[in-house]
Chain A
Amino acid sequence: MTSTVSLTVNGKAVSAEVEPRTLLVQLLREILGLTGTHVGCDTSQCGACVVHVNGTSLKSCTMLAVQAEGADVTTIEGLADGDTLHPMQQAFHENHGLQCGFCTPGMIMSAIDLAKRNPDPSEKEIREWLEGNLCRCTGYHNIVKSIKAGAQAMNA
């Protein structure tokens, strides 16, 4: 049985028909076509699917779409302002914070949540924060650099 879920995604009111078992990430990717949010695992460990729901970062693969009723969701697609990248996106660009880019949307969404709580995180704090965001390419070094720069730019 399906039901209608209504929520705000990247500032736009949307409604969709979903099953109770539809995951939030499936709603975003398969129904709304927002494929910037990725799925990298089925064990809730990789963080490729991180989005913001009512301002906090969470794994959209581990929340039901019906649980997002009335929520305000932001995905990677909602960050840039027209052609101007969000400061955290810009920092990943400038610091070469990605290689294949698969983990990047989740990394950026997690990083923004960190920067909102902690305007000038140390390298150690960034590495601890990335516990739930796995990258198979970069070795994390430039991701950490990007996040440090992005947090400073966001809070400048």
Chain B
Amino acid sequence: MYNFEYTKASSAGAAAEALKADEDAKVVAGGMTLIPTLKQRLAQPSTLIDLNGVDDLRGITVTGDTVTIGAMTTHDTVARSAEVAKAIPALAHLAGLIGDPAVRNRGTIGGSISNNDPAADYPGALVGLGATVKTTKREIAADDFFVDLFETALEEDEIVTEVSFPVPEAAWYMKFPNPASRYAIVGVFVAKAKDGVRVAVTGAGPCVFRVPEMEQALSSSWSPDAVADIKVSDDGLNSDIHASAEYRAHLVTVMAKRAVAGAK
């Protein structure tokens, strides 16, 4: 690992200021992605700004129609939250499928979405539920937040502070995990809400995407059969030693069907 300086942020705002002052600085949240990256010498930040002491970035608030999760809330906290399990069971379920217990004890929602790994789970939930990402500068709709492979709408000196999820009528997440890493080979998040149906796919492509044909079909008939014959094109999907693009396209339909069947 290359060496770097280390500081603790006193607040999200202070961390954003520090990023503005030094374009080679980086914030560290759970470190579950960043520290392995540093170990491989794939990044060389000048300074790591630790968000771990910023307590007001942690925590879950559930009001009647919204679940709000602070950026530094760990996957384990979300997975084990009785409040989240009651309001949006699919979200607690998804958080409990991330990695392994030790990863869930450290990894955070803010770190996961800011990293935007194509195989990460949370992007599916954010786009699937039509969440809003709050940052030190503004609010960004999930549809606009995830831009491309490892790329988000965040500016260099912008920090995610919380994510708000509207409570749906029913939703579920099905993932076909990579048997070694547990990242999603394909994950499909479906949700039925007052303002419509959403189907979000993670793992399959370079970035999370929606499937409008499935959303239309499920709006007319909310049942697994409605999506059974809808295939996404394998054009541009990921292809690697774990799964070909064609296989991933096939899995999208299978996972979508199962997610609708499991929705609660």
Query: Interface on A for B, CB 8 Å cutoff?
Result: 1, 3, 19-21, 23, 42-45, 47, 50, 56-59, 62-64, 66-67, 110, 113-114, 129-133
Is there an interface contact between A20 and B102, defined as CB atoms closer than 8 Å?
no
Known pairs A42-B36, A62-B32, A62-B36; A129 contacts B101 (CB<8 A): yes
The interface stretch among B2-10, B60-68, B139-147, B218-226 is: B2-10
Q: How far is the CB of A128 from chain B (nearest CB, A)?
A: 9
Across-interface contacts of A129 in B (CB, < 8 A): 101
Minimum CB–CB distance for A42 against chain B, Å: 5
Complex Cα gap A44–B6 (Å): 21
A78 CA to B37 CA, complexed, in Å: 31
What residues of chain B have their CB less than 8 Å away from a CB belonging to chain A? 1-6, 28, 31-32, 35-36, 38-40, 48, 50, 52, 76, 99-103, 105-106, 180-182
What are 12 A-B interface contacts by the 8 Å CB criterion? A1-B5, A44-B32, A56-B105, A57-B101, A57-B102, A58-B106, A62-B35, A64-B28, A66-B6, A130-B100, A132-B101, A132-B102
In the complex with contacts A21-B2, A21-B4, A62-B35, A131-B101 CB distance below 8 A: yes
Query: Which residue from B6, B100, B105, B182 sits with its C-beta under 8 Å from A20?
Result: B6
A58, B5: Cβ atoms under 8 Å?
A: no
| Cα distance, A136 to B38, chains bound together (Å) | 26
**How many inter-chain residue pairs (CB < 8 Å) link A and B?**
71
**What is the predominant secondary structure among interface residues of chain A facing chain B?**
mixed
Contact A20 B4 (CB under 8 A): yes
**Nearest B residue (CB) for A133:** B100
* A-B contact sample (19 more), CB < 8 A, given A42-B39, A62-B31, A62-B32: A20-B6, A21-B4, A21-B38, A23-B35, A42-B36, A44-B32, A57-B101, A57-B102, A59-B103, A62-B106, A63-B106, A66-B6, A67-B31, A67-B52, A113-B101, A129-B101, A130-B100, A132-B100, A133-B100
Find out whether the CB atom of A44 lies under 8 angstroms from the CB atom of B48. no
Q: Is the CB of B102 within 8 A of A58?
A: yes
Instruction: Specify which of A3, A56, A132 is in contact with B99 (CB 8 Å cutoff).
Output: A132
